[in-house]
Amino acid sequence: MTTRRKFLTTAPLAAGAAALAAPAVHAQGAPIRWRMQTYAGAALGEHVVKPAIDRFNAIADGQMQIELFYADQLVPTSELFRAMQNGTIDAVQSDDDSMQSPTEVTVFGGYFPFASRYSLDVPVLFNQYGLKEIWDQEYAAVGVKHISAGAWDPCHFATKEPINSLADLEGKRVFTFPTAGRFLAQFGVVPMQLPWEDIQVALQTGELDGIAWSGITEDYTVGWADVTNYFLTNNISGAWIGHFFANADRWAEVPDRLKMLMEVCFEQSHYYRQWWYWGGEADLRVNGPKLQLTSIPDEEWATVEERARAFWDEIAAESETKARVVEIFKRYNDVMAKAGRPYRYS
C-alpha cells in the first residue's frame, strides 16, 4: 500500500521522470519522413509524380511527408531497387526493367513488346486478369512492397533521320529500355543505356541516333523534340507499365490511414496520366510544330508483331512465373481481338 508519506517522498522523482520522458512522447508525434526517387527527370516529373506527392503531403497534414527526388539525384536509376531494398531510400516510382529488379517479372516492366495496345489495357491486366497478385508476391519475396501499377505513354521512335521501313532501323543507336532493346536488336537497332539527363546532349552530339523511350508527349515535355526531327507513328507497345514501390519495413511502420491515403493519391496519379498522355499524344501529332510524322507500312509492321509473339514464347520458356504472365497477356489479347471495335481494330 502506498502511504501518504511514501507518496510525498516519491512524487518529485515521478514528476522528474515524467519530465525527462516528455521529449520521447513528442518524438513519437513527429512526422514520418520518406524519400522517394522517380525514374523521371524534373520536367517530366512535374506531371507523372509531383502532383500526387504534393497532394499526399497536403492531406497528410504534418503526420507524414514524402520528399521527392528526380532521376539519378540520389542514386542512378539502375540502382533504384537496391537502394530501396536496403533502406537508403524509402520509395520508388519506376518500371521494373530500368531499375533492374531481381524478380521474375522484371522483363515485363516498361515496354514488353505488344503486350498492350492502349493505356487502359494496363489497369485491366493488373486488376481483372491477375497481374497484381503476381507482382505483389514477387516483390514481397525480396523485401519490397508493390503498391500499385499504372499506364504511361506508348513507345515510339523519335529520330534524327526518317524511318519509313524496317531497313531504316539498321544500325541506329537508340536509347531504350533493356527488354525493348533486346527485342529491337533483331531488327538491327543498337540499344544504348545512358543516364536519363544525358539523352538530349547525346542526341545533339551524335552519340545517339534516336530514342524509343516514350510517346510524343514526353518528347515535347522533356526537350527531345528539340533535338530530333521525325516521329514514327508505329509503336512496339501501347503503354509503359510503371509502378510505385516501397521498402517493406518502412511501409509496415506507416499507420493504416496513411497507407490508404498513399494508395489513393497514387491511383489518382495513374488516372492523371491516362488523360494527360491520351490527349497529348493526339494533339501533338496534329498540332505539334517540331516533329515530322513517318510510318512503316502496315504489312511490313505486321512482321514485327509476329516476331513479338515469338519473343513472348522465348521469355515464357525461362521460368514458370514468366510463363504465367505471358499466358495472361495471350488470353487478354485474345479476348480484346474477339471483342472487336473499339477494343481492337485489327
pLDDT tens across 327-337, in order? Answer: 999 999 999 99
Instruction: Give the model's pLDDT for residue 197.
Output: 87
pLDDT of residue 25: 31
Give residue limits of the domains in the chain.
31-152+240-281, 155-238+288-339
Q: How many CB atoms lie within 10 A of CB 86?
A: 10
Q: What's 31-152+240-281's CATH class?
A: alpha beta
Give the chain's residues under pLDDT 50.
1-27
State phi, psi for 158 to the nearest 5 degrees. Answer: -120, 125
pLDDT of residue 30: 86
The CATH fold of domain 155-238+288-339: D-Maltodextrin-Binding Protein; domain 2 (3.40.190)
Cα–Cα distances in Å, from 32 out to 27, 82, 175, 286? Answer: 10, 22, 38, 46
Note the pLDDT of residue 346.
65
Which strands sit side by side in the sheet containing 91-94, from one edge to the other?
A: 64-69, 32-38, 91-94, 241-247, 144-151
| 211, containing H or E segment | strand 210-214
Consecutive H or E run containing 94: strand 91-94
Note whether 31-152+240-281 and 155-238+288-339 share their fold: yes
Q: Name the helix (H) or strand (E) containing 192.
A: strand 190-192
